[in-house]
């Protein structure tokens, strides 16, 4: 596959493609299912008004809904994955549009389910469960819907709130259009002295990872000076977004915007506040890493534009895809024979992975699938260690889906965002441990250590800093304080000083970084990245120290889907996210990795001098 020109899709060897034929052998079968689903959706709509009649009627409606939903997502996944193989293929673009339209019809046809379930009196629903044994499988789902009863308003108010969504999303739309369409960055010099236009996509890989400090500084100043020119507009947009969240929280009888974000998934507010408090109690590890970074880069002053450049570069070690597969299998051996055997099947004869880049193929990497399908992984594999780790990461998602779908009924055959990154980052942690145990090359060990440190810095510390900024912004506005771009910038700057510590020159322009983070328009979302990697770090540590008992708990977690609340699934696995301990353990692991890197750097320095 190492050629100068990308192959066309039809020229890619079958063994390097994913097995979409396991869903449909040909598109005519998809068309048959499309017609079948088109007939099922009107039948679902006709069930309106029947769910509260008796237990049998409720069960029948839920089963019909699930069968239609199962078919819909099988069809939806198939055509989207075909489309991603070659984005220039108009045939599958048309089929994805049809699938999306069908999904919208399904949503409209089943919109009555939740209101009718909420309208069933508790005593009557209990009688339904007693009289219809098969309804028991839906008990957790129905209880979860009814748990939100106090936050569901009358039909008239719900209709009004739904209409208000179109208006209140305006701040998000304005921000998106401004930064993606209207914001223009200047042309600056790259490493080779070429004039290159600064863009969001080029900012980190082209400029901020550059070994040339002048290039990094120029990019940093150009980016934030440009954002600064629009700070008042973006500040008003963000403040309006917060006010919209306050409106919906109040309308739905939540105690706060944070409560409104966490309560639907039964996440206690203490999980959020413990995260912030515990990371702040462990900032000394971050400060020590900043000192190490300053020393290894041989800088008198470490600035904000020095935080992305690699500490170890020019690692000329290539890993073929065949080598990558075997490295991942070896690294994940601690998860036991059942896990490894199923994963190996997916990597080889199961053809879960679409391996290499081809003309028109979507960029990046992801794992996806439907309840009725095998997992599928898109890669654009390059022969380097980053891609080996990416393969392990995506296999974590795939194996989570595999165990969930193998074990749970359809209604619980998925998992929440709160736990979505646990399995993927755990795989990376185990593979990193394996590489450090089996690698003698000092520079490669430094690279692996730094890669894991940077992942924890970016995910545990940085995302918690973002979470604290969100928390403070919403808290102040809910307390009646009028916030502007200047107040947002002031406390964001103070957060950077506290998180990065005395070894970093916190450049004044970094106070504007909040203005370019799109996740802030999905309120209280980013904390889940930090809690996810904290949970996976704790679980990996248990697996490596306890062995089989920890593995058994972990596999049960993977198999749980959404049959319990996410916080309970993690607690059963051995990680209580309502306590500070998992986050504290993750911070401790970060500190241990920094210590290892300090020692290895001293060793390499000593050998160089000798």
DSSP string, 377-435: EE----SSHHHHHHHHHHHHHHHHHHHHHHHS-GGG-S--HHHHTHHHHHHHHHHHHHH
Torsion sign across C-alpha atoms 46, 48, 49, 54: positive
Active-site positions read 394
Angle subtended by helix axes 321-331 and 337-347, to nearest 10: 170
pLDDT digits (tens, 9 = 90+) for 226-266: 999 999 999 999 999 999 999 999 999 999 999 999 999 99
Predicted confidence at residue 314, as pLDDT, reads: 65
Residues forming beta bridges with residue 195, ordered by sequence position: 189
How many angstroms separate the CA atoms of 44 and 62, rounded? 10
Cα 402 to Cα 17, 81, 369, 556, 561: the distances in Å are: 19, 18, 9, 12, 10
Predicted confidence at residue 4, as pLDDT, reads: 59
Whether residue 379 contacts residue 85, with contact meaning beta carbons closer than 8 Å, is answered with: no
Instruction: Give the phi and the psi of residue 230 in degrees, each rounded to 5.
Output: -120, 20
Predicted confidence at residue 313, as pLDDT, reads: 75
Cα 505 to Cα 235, 292, 307, 500, 534: the distances in Å are: 25, 15, 11, 9, 28
Report CA dihedral (24, 28, 33, 35) to the nearest 10 degrees: 170
What residue segments make up the domains of the chain, in order of their start?
A: 14-147, 318-409
- The pLDDT confidence band at residue 3, using thresholds 50, 70 and 90, is very low
In the predicted structure, residue 59 carries a pLDDT above the cut 60: yes
pLDDT digits (tens, 9 = 90+) for 313-363: 767 789 999 999 999 999 999 999 999 999 999 999 999 999 999 999 999
Predicted confidence at residue 603, as pLDDT, reads: 86
Q: Dump strand ranges (E) for 278-348.
A: 302-303
In the predicted structure, residue 122 carries a pLDDT above the cut 70: yes
- The pLDDT confidence band at residue 610, using thresholds 50, 70 and 90, is low
Predicted confidence at residue 169, as pLDDT, reads: 86
CB under 8 Å to 491, separation ≥6 — which residues? 469, 472, 473
Angle subtended by helix axes 139-147 and 122-131, to nearest 10: 180
Predicted confidence at residue 563, as pLDDT, reads: 97
DSSP string, 76-144: HHHHHHHHHH-TT-HHHHHHHHHHHHHHHHHHHHTTTHHHHHHHS-HHHHHHHHHH-GGGGGGHHHHHH
Q: What does the mean pLDDT of the chain come to?
A: 95
In this structure, are strands 302-303 and 504-505 parallel, antiparallel, or unpaired?
A: parallel
**How much is the average pLDDT of 480-499?**
97
DSSP state, residue 479: T
> What whole-number percentage of the chain has pLDDT above 90?
90
Predicted confidence at residue 469, as pLDDT, reads: 98
**How much is the average pLDDT of 264-290?**
97
In the predicted structure, residue 461 carries a pLDDT above the cut 60: yes
pLDDT digits (tens, 9 = 90+) for 546-560: 999 999 999 999 999
Q: Which helix (H) or strand (E) holds 505?
A: strand 504-505
In the predicted structure, residue 128 carries a pLDDT above the cut 70: yes
Predicted confidence at residue 606, as pLDDT, reads: 75
pLDDT digits (tens, 9 = 90+) for 359-387: 999 999 999 999 999 999 999 999 999 99
Domain covering 14-147 in this structure, CATH number: 1.20.140.70
pLDDT digits (tens, 9 = 90+) for 15-40: 999 999 999 999 999 999 999 999 99
Instruction: Give the phi and the psi of residue 189 in degrees, each rounded to 5.
Output: -85, 140
């Amino acid at each position: 596959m190492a050629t100068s020109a990308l192959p066309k899709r039809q020229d890619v060897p079958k063994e390097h493609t994913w097995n979409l034929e396991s869903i449909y052998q040909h598109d005519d079968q998809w068309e048959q299912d499309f017609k079948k689903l088109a007939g099922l959706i009107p039948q679902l709509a006709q069930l309106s008004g029947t769910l509260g009649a008796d237990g049998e009627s409720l069960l029948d409606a839920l089963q019909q809904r699930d069968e239609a939903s199962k078919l819909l997502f099988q069809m939806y996944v198939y055509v989207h994955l075909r489309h991603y193989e070659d984005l220039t293929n108009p045939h599958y673009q048309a089929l994805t549009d049809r699938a999306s339209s069908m999904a919208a019809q399904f949503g409209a046809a089943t919109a009555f389910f939740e209101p009718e379930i909420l309208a069933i009196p508790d005593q009557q629903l209990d009688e339904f469960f007693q009289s219809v044994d098969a309804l028991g499988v839906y008990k957790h789902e129905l209880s979860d819907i009814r748990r939100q009863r106090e936050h569901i308003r009358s039909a008239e108010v719900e209709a009004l709130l739904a209409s208000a969504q179109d208006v209140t999303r305006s701040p998000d739309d304005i921000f998106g259009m401004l930064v993606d369409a209207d914001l223009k960055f200047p042309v600056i010099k790259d490493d080779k002295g070429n004039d290159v236009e600064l863009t969001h996509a080029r900012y980190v890989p082209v400029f901020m990872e550059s070994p040339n400090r002048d290039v990094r500084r120029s990019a940093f100043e150009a980016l934030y000076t440009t954002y600064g020119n629009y700070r008042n507009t973006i500040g008003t947009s963000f403040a309006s977004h917060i006010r919209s969240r306050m409106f919906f929280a109040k309308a739905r009888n939540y105690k706060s915007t944070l409560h409104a974000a966490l309560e639907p998934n039964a996440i206690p507010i203490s999980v959020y506040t413990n995260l912030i408090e515990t990371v702040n109690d462990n900032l000394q590890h971050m400060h020590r890493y900043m000192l190490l970074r300053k020393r290894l880069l041989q800088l008198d002053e470490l600035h904000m534009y020095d935080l992305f450049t690699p500490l170890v570069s020019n690692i000329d070690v290539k890993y073929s895809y065949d080598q990558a597969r075997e490295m991942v299998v070896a690294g994940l051996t601690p998860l036991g024979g059942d896990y490894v055997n199923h994963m190996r099947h997916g990597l080889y004869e199961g053809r879960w992975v679409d391996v290499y880049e081809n003309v028109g193929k979507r960029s990046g990497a992801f794992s996806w699938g439907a309840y009725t399908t095998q997992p599928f992984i898109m890669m654009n594999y390059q022969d380097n260690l980053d891609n080996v780790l990416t393969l392990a990461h995506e296999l974590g998602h795939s194996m989570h889906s595999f165990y969930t779908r193998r074990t749970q009924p359809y209604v619980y055959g998925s998992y929440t965002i709160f736990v979505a990154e646990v399995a993927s980052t755990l795989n990376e942690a185990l593979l990193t441990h394996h590489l450090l145990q089996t690698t003698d090359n000092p520079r490669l060990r430094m690279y692996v250590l730094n890669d894991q440190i940077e992942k924890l810095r970016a995910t545990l510390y940085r995302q918690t800093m973002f979470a604290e900024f969100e928390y403070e912004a919403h808290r102040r506005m809910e307390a009646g304080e009028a916030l502007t771009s200047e107040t947002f910038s002031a406390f964001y700057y103070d957060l950077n000083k506290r998180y990065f510590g005395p070894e970093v020159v916190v450049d004044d322009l970094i106070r504007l970084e909040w203005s370019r983070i799109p996740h802030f328009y999905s309120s209280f979302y980013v904390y889940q990245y930090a809690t996810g990697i904290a949970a996976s770090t704790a679980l990996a540590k248990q697996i490596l120290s306890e062995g089989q008992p920890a593995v058994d708990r972990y596999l049960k977690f993977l198999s749980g889907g959404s049959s319990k609340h996410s916080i309970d699934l993690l607690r059963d696995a051995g990680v209580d996210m309502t306590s500070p301990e998992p986050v504290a353990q993750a911070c401790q692991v970060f500190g241990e990795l920094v210590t290892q890197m300090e020692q290895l750097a001293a060793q390499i320095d000593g050998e160089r001098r000798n």
